[in-house]
């Protein structure tokens, strides 16, 4: 029996060493900053604490002294509490990986929170009540409610299984297999340890399953993320090229040229706005994260100022800004505002009006860009406007969804177009 006890101690230390490797990987290059990786990091750290809680059970086969009972009792409570955190963080990891949203996300979070909280409560009270474990001179003993501590992981693994099955179409077959292995390996080890007390294979099972997930699911996810980042970069370039149209540059420079003769002071202001417009677009191309709405609005005001110098009273702009305290993907407003100018000015003799409005609700920051132009359907009939409109709107919508979980709705008629952006509060 001593040989088996020593083997369990060595196995636990070996599992700790293995568990440190994913942590080093996630900390390096700041991978932990991604929300998905934060949950996986939580799994790895919790697993180490679970193993540390298990070690005294093998180091102290008996607990004749009061101090030994105290150490063993605290360590066992740590073991059960840490196991709850392993389960909770992995549920959150799976939900984030599968991009579970809406009502399903709330239900799964509540389900996981309740189950893991019950496990933690039993872990904390058991040293005093002996519910799931108690300590005697002979060491660790299973309490009358021990099966509760085994039922909770089973229910959590059933949730894992349900999430994987329901969202299987989002996954490659390889991802499905390795997610199922994360369920099967710990469950199998847990069942074996329940039957054969004295073999520390649960910790080894969880550690191996975590490494399998890291090597096969997490690595593959990172490859996918890099591919998406490449695609997103290409979209930024497309957006950039769509915004700095040669005709706009030529027209702006032409306006500035004439202002230099007729109104030098206004010309100086226009040059300053023009340089800020170009600088803002260049900076936006480099940005990989959402920016402050006020910054994005500043880019748009520069654009509209230059267009107003060109069209004069034919272009009216109204700002109704009630909130600016939110983030937005760079180059989101400008394609929509440019479309509004195209519809409101180029195709109406009397000109038109563009309204930029922001407001807040309990759930969203809402941005509205409205114009009284010819509408998108009529614009599609004109090759010079229709294709540009389509590309700009599609790019804006996809980047809103990917970067801030936002949405874009377009309502258009012969009387004008209203673009509504909704961004959930962080």
pLDDT at 386: 46
**Two structure tokens written together for 168:** 């299987």
pLDDT of residue 235: 61
pLDDT average, residue stretch 309-328:
89
What percent of the chain has pLDDT above 70? 82
Q: How many residues does the chain have?
A: 426
Task: Return the pLDDT at 290.
Answer: 87
Which one is predicted more confidently, 296 or 348? 296
CATH topology of domain 2-229: Rhopdopsin 7-helix transmembrane proteins (1.20.1070)
Checking if the pLDDT of 286 tops 70, the result is no
Contacts of 317 by beta carbon, 8 Å cutoff, 6+ apart: 304, 308, 353, 354, 355, 356
The rounded mean pLDDT for the chain is 82
* Amino acid 131: pLDDT: 94
Asked, colleague to colleague, whether 2-229 and 246-424 share their fold, the answer is no
Task: Measure the CA–CA gap between 239 and 331, rounded to whole angstroms.
Answer: 8
Of 217-221, 303-307, 353-357, the range with the lowest mean pLDDT is 217-221
Q: How far, in Å, are 94, 234, 308 from residue 212 at the CA level? A: 14, 33, 60
Task: Give CA separation, 64 vs 55, 57, 71, 144, in Å.
Answer: 18, 13, 12, 22
**pLDDT tier for residue 15 given thresholds of 50, 70 and 90:** confident
pLDDT digits (tens, 9 = 90+) for 180-231: 877 788 777 766 666 666 666 777 777 887 777 776 655 665 666 666 666 6
Contact 167, 104 (CB under 8 A): no
155-191, pLDDT tens digit by residue? 988 888 888 888 888 887 877 877 787 778 877 776 6
pLDDT at residue 226, rounded to an integer: 67
Backbone phi and psi for residue 283, each to the nearest 5 degrees, phi listed first: -65, -35
d(CA 217, CA 84): 22
pLDDT over 60 (residue 1): no
- On the question of pLDDT at 232 being above 70, the answer is no
At 110 the pLDDT is: 93
Comparing 10-19, 79-88, 247-256, the range with the smallest average pLDDT is 247-256
Q: In terms of C-beta distances under 8 Å and separation of at least 24 residues, what long-range contacts does 59-67 make, across chains too?
A: 59/9, 60/139, 61/5, 61/139, 62/137, 62/138, 62/139, 63/135, 63/136, 63/137, 63/138, 63/139, 64/137
Q: What is the mean pLDDT of residues 284-306?
A: 83
Give the model's pLDDT for residue 381. Answer: 62
- Per-residue pLDDT tens over the stretch 116-164: 999 999 999 999 999 999 998 888 888 999 999 889 988 988 888 888 8
Residue 144's pLDDT is what? 93
pLDDT score at 379: 61
- More confident site: 85 or 236: 85
Residue 242: its pLDDT value, please? 54
Which range is least confidently modeled, 5-9, 165-169, 198-202, 339-343?
198-202
Q: Reply yes or no on whether the pLDDT at 383 is more than 50.
A: no
Highest mean pLDDT, choosing among 56-65, 104-113, 370-379? 104-113
Domain locations along the chain: 2-229, 246-424
Q: Is the pTM of this model over 0.85?
A: no
Which range in 29-33, 60-64, 236-240, 288-292 is most confidently predicted, on average pLDDT? 288-292
Tokens 């803002």 found at:
280
Q: Which residue has the higher pLDDT, 169 or 347?
A: 169
Average pLDDT over residues 228-238: 61
* Structure confidence at residue 233 (pLDDT): 60
Q: Which helix (H) or strand (E) holds 142?
A: strand 139-142
Q: What number is the average pLDDT over the span 283-309?
A: 83
Architecture of the domain spanning 246-424:
2-Layer Sandwich (3.30)
């Amino acid at each position: 029996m001593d040989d088996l006890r020593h083997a369990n101690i060595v196995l636990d230390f070996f599992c700790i060493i293995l568990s440190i490797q994913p942590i080093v990987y996630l900390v390096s290059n700041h991978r932990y900053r991604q929300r998905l990786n934060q949950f996986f990091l939580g799994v790895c750290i919790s697993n180490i604490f679970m193993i540390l809680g298990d070690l005294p059970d093998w180091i102290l086969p008996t607990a004749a002294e009061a101090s030994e009972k105290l150490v063993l009792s605290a360590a066992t409570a740590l073991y059960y509490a840490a196991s709850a955190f392993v389960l909770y963080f992995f549920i959150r990891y799976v939900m984030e990986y599968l991009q579970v949203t809406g009502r399903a996300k709330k239900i799964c979070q509540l389900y996981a929170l309740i189950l893991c909280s019950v496990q933690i409560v039993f872990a904390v009270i058991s040293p005093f009540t002996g519910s799931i474990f108690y300590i005697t001179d002979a060491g660790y003993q299973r309490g009358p409610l021990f099966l509760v501590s085994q039922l909770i992981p089973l229910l959590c693994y059933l949730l894992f299984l349900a999430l994987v099955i329901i969202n299987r179409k989002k996954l490659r077959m390889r991802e499905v297999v390795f997610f199922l292995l994360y369920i099967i390996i710990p469950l199998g080890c847990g069942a074996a340890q329940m039957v054969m007390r004295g073999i520390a294979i649960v910790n080894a099972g969880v550690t191996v399953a975590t490494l399998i997930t890291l090597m096969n699911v997490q690595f593959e996810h990172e490859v996918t993320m890099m591919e998406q980042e490449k695609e997103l970069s290409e979209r930024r370039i497309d957006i950039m090229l769509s915004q700095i149209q040669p005709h706009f540059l030529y027209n702006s420079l032409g306006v500035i040229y004439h202002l230099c003769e007729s109104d030098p002071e206004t010309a100086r202001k226009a040059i300053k706005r023009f340089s800020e417009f170009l600088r803002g677009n260049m900076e936006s191309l480099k940005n990989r994260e959402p920016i402050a709405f006020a910054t994005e609005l500043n880019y748009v005001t520069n654009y509209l100022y230059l267009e107003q110098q060109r069209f004069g009273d034919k272009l009216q702009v109204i700002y109704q800004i009630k909130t600016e305290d939110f983030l937005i993907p760079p180059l989101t407003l400008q394609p929509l505002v440019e479309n509004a100018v195209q519809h409101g000015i180029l195709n109406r003799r009397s000109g038109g009006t563009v309204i930029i409005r922001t407001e807040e609700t309990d759930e969203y920051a809402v941005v509205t860009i409205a114009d009284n132009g010819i509408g998108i359907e009529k614009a599609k009939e004109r090759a010079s406007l229709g294709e540009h409109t389509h590309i700009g709107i599609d790019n804006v919508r996809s980047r809103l969804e990917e970067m801030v979980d936002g949405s874009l709705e377009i309502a258009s008629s012969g009387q004008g177009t209203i673009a509504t952006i909704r961004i959930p509060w962080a």
